[in-house]
Each structure stands twice: as C-alpha cells, then as structure tokens.
Amino acid sequence: MTIGLALIGAGLFMQDAHLPGIEASPNIELKAVYSRSLKSASAIATELPLSRYADDAGEGLQQLLERPDIQAVIIALPITKQAHYIRAALAAGKHVLSEKPTAKDVAEAVDLIQWYKAEIAPKGITWAVAENWRYLDTVRYGREQLDRLGKIRQFRTQVYFDCRPGKFKHWRYIALPWRQKPDHQGGIILDIGVHHIAATRYLLGSDRITRVNASVTAFQDALSPADTVDAIFQTESGAQGTFQFSACSSLEQDSGYTVVGANGDIRAKEEVVEVHVDGKEEVKELPLVSMAVVSEVKAWAEALGKGAVPLEQRPEEALADLELIELILKSGAQNGVSQVPQHQKVDV
Ligand SMILES: *[C@@H]1O[C@H](CO)[C@@H](O)[C@H](O)[C@H]1NC(C)=O
C-alpha cells in the first residue's frame, strides 16, 4: 500500500536532497507541503500537483495534519523550531522523519523521546531522525571492515573547511539566515559537527565514548558563537581518539575519519576508503551521491512499509550524537574539564 506523505518545511535541503529520495521510494507518494509562508510552500517542487499549506494561507498545519490520506511527514526546519512540529505530527498520528539533531539540546531530546515512547510508539506510530552521515557509502564500508582491525586502539576525526562565500562548496546552505544568526547552541558546531560525531560513533562499532575533554573557539567573526573544536575522547574499551572540526581552515584535503586497531587502520574520506591490514593496502572508491540522503530516505520508506524505524535513524542514536556535541561545548566553556556522557548506550 502506498503511504501518503507531506513535507513540513520547504527549504533548500528539502528540494535538493529529500525530493530525490522521495522520488526513489516507490511506496511513498508526496501529496502536500506546509511552510510558514505560502510563498515558500509554493516555491518547492513546482512541477508537482501538491496541496500547499501555510500560516498565511486559508489552510495551515492543522488542516494538513487532519488529512487521513497523509500517513507520514518529513520535517526539516531550523533546529529550535522542530520539536513543536514533531510533537504536533506524532500527536496527530503521523509517522515522522525529522532532520538531525533530535532536538535543540539533550534536555529537550530526552523529554521528546520519553513522551514518544510512552504515548506514541505503543500506537504503532514511528519517529525516525534523519542523519545522512550514517548512510555515506565510505562510512558504511569502513564500518564493515572494522572486525579486521582487531582491538581498536585509536581514532581520529578531522573535518576542515573554509566557511566563507566562494570557499565552501555548500555555502548556499550556510548562507540561510537561521544559520548565519543561529539561535541554537554552538551554531555550526552543532548543526554540521553533529554529522561528523555520527560518523565517528558509527565507525567505532559497538564501542562507546565515555569521556570528553574539549577546547572550543572562534577564529572568525563570521560564525557565531564558535567555529573550531579540538576534542579528546575516551571509550569504554580503553581506546582513545581525537575530534578536530574547523569551519575556517585551509586543510580541507586532510579531512576524514581514521580508526586504528591492533592489525592496522581504516581511513575513510569523502569518496575513498583505505584499509591497511597486516602490511597490505586496499583502496576502495565510493562516489558521493546526493550526500547519501537518497539512501537515507529510501531506508526510512522501506522500514515504514513494515512499521519499523531503521536502527541508524532511531531518535536515541541521534540523541547520542547530540549529547557529545553538547558535552564538547560544555567542556569548551569550562576550559577543557572532562564531561561524562549519559546517553551513549543505545539499546538495540
Ligand atoms: C580532561 O579533563 C580532566 C579534568 O576534568 C583532566 O584531569 C584530564 O587530564 C583531562 N584530560 C586530557 C587528556 O586533557
């Protein structure tokens, strides 16, 4: 049976990334879109015969959520706005896929998850959180090779880009007002950093981060409140690693994720994975397709057909990512004092 779908939010990322994912999912049919203004609700997917809802039109969110032919929604809105819409859609009995992070902070995420588990999940309504970095082919391939490394000892995440117009390939997303003047904690550290925490955690397999020390700073005025993180992590198994993230660095070529074990290492970059085991090198090239959002939306739609949420999209998984960002920011604010995560154990 086809699942009727609506979009909540009509931004650039919906247009560029989610729409191709929806198109590639045969069991969902896009029927409607809601945005705060009719102008933006009208500007997305102009070639499709969608019903368009807005606060400044005759019919708004309420009317959209009352439609029985719509069973699911994708929510992609500015970070601090999302929780309200997630609650409204779930309460109306719609399945939800909402963009990362789970919520604006750990307290709000825990609250939402508890409410969802107690009130919504028992009715068979699902909530998934989109984190496309867990769908990057290089990250997934890297994780598949993990067992070959033996015991994990070290890891290193390096993410560098120069976040200025003309310098950054994804500048058009950064140019959006809610990103230029963020009302969410950490600004770009949360918004973009959380993707790289997701990849870092994914590449650690079943190991878990148990301690965080970090320095956080701003080298440019362009991005408030900060643009650069250097963090040190420890894991449950005794491994240790670093997380370097800078949105104003010339080192973009060096970006990637490295995991080192007793038998060798895995180095995953944007489009290539190098595996060095027992002195031999293997190189696997994996072109980047639509920032992996097509794979992510397809996985969501397929699971939805079975009434399930993919493991990679559980809200608890996204909470674990969010928590590490929040602790990095806290440690940074306290001159590197270590922080102990409470939400890294994601039950299977
Ligand atoms: C992390 O912070 C704690 C203090 O909270 C300190 O004792 C420890 O040495 C720090 N570790 C590193 C690696 O900086």
Q: Residue 221: CB partners within 8 Å, gap ≥ 6?
A: none
Q: 294-347, pLDDT tens digit by residue?
A: 999 999 999 999 999 999 999 999 999 999 999 999 999 999 999 999 999 997
Pocket test for ligand 1, best of 210, 212, 213 (most atoms within 8 A of CB): 213
Cβ burial, residue 335 (10 Å; 0-12/13-18/19+): exposed
Q: Where in the chain is the domain with CATH 3.30.360.10?
A: 136-287+322-333
CB of 40 sitting under 6 A from ligand 1: no
Q: What is the DSSP letter of 11?
A: -
CATH 3.30.360.10 fits 136-287+322-333, yes or no: yes
Q: Where in the chain is the domain with CATH 3.40.50.720?
A: 3-132+293-313
Cα 240 to averaged position of ligand 1 atoms, centre (Å): 13
Ligand 1 atom at minimum distance from 337 CA: 5
334 φ, ψ to 5°?
A: -110, 30
Pocket test for ligand 1, best of 338, 339, 340 (most atoms within 8 A of CB): 338
Cα 337 to averaged position of ligand 1 atoms, centre (Å): 6
Q: What is the dihedral of CA 200, 205, 211, 212, to 10 degrees?
A: 0
Alpha-carbon torsion 48, 132, 256, 158, what sign? Answer: positive
Residue 163 has pLDDT above 70, yes or no: yes
Alpha-carbon torsion 113, 115, 118, 119, what sign? Answer: negative
Q: Centre a 10 Å sphere on the Cβ of residue 62 and count the other Cβ atoms it contains.
A: 11
What is residue 6's predicted lDDT score, i.e. its pLDDT? Answer: 98
Q: 188-238, pLDDT tens digit by residue?
A: 999 999 999 999 999 999 999 999 999 999 998 778 899 999 999 999 999
Cβ burial, residue 302 (10 Å; 0-12/13-18/19+): middle
Ligand 1 atom at minimum distance from 334 CA: 5
Give the global pTM: 0.96
120 φ, ψ to 5°?
A: -105, -50
CB of 337 sitting under 6 A from ligand 1: yes
3-132+293-313: CATH homologous superfamily? Answer: NAD(P)-binding Rossmann-like Domain (3.40.50.720)
